Amino acid sequence: MSRGFRNSDATQELSEQATSDTINEILEADREQATHAADVRAHGGYGVCEGCGGSIGEERLEAISNATRCVRCQADWEQANRF
């Protein structure tokens, strides 16, 4: 089944607008998360999941230095906080 985004210039424009809105929301969320992560770090919570209190894991922290949740809790959080 086609999503129909390429049918006309109008839908193309709409889909580009939606994309840039989404990017802005993601950038905004990233900024908030970076601020939040710095705050957590300042209080000695770096590397500890704020969802379950477990270890986030070195590999994940290397990949995403602003991570404040383990993979499982992040997935749960994203489910609950869809844009």
Tell me the longest C-alpha to C-alpha distance in the chain.
53
* Nearest CB to Zn ion, comparing residues 49 and 67: 49
Nearer CB in complex with Zn ion: 32/54? 54
Q: Are 70 and 52 in contact (CB under 8 A)?
A: yes
Q: How far is the CB of 72 from Zn ion (least distance, A)?
A: 6
Apex CA 74: angle with CA 56 and CA 66, to 5°? Answer: 60
Q: Within positions 13 to 72, which residues make up the interface with Zn ion, using CB under 5 A?
A: 49, 51-52, 70
Residues of this chain that interact with Zn ion (CB under 5 A) are 49, 51-52, 70, 73
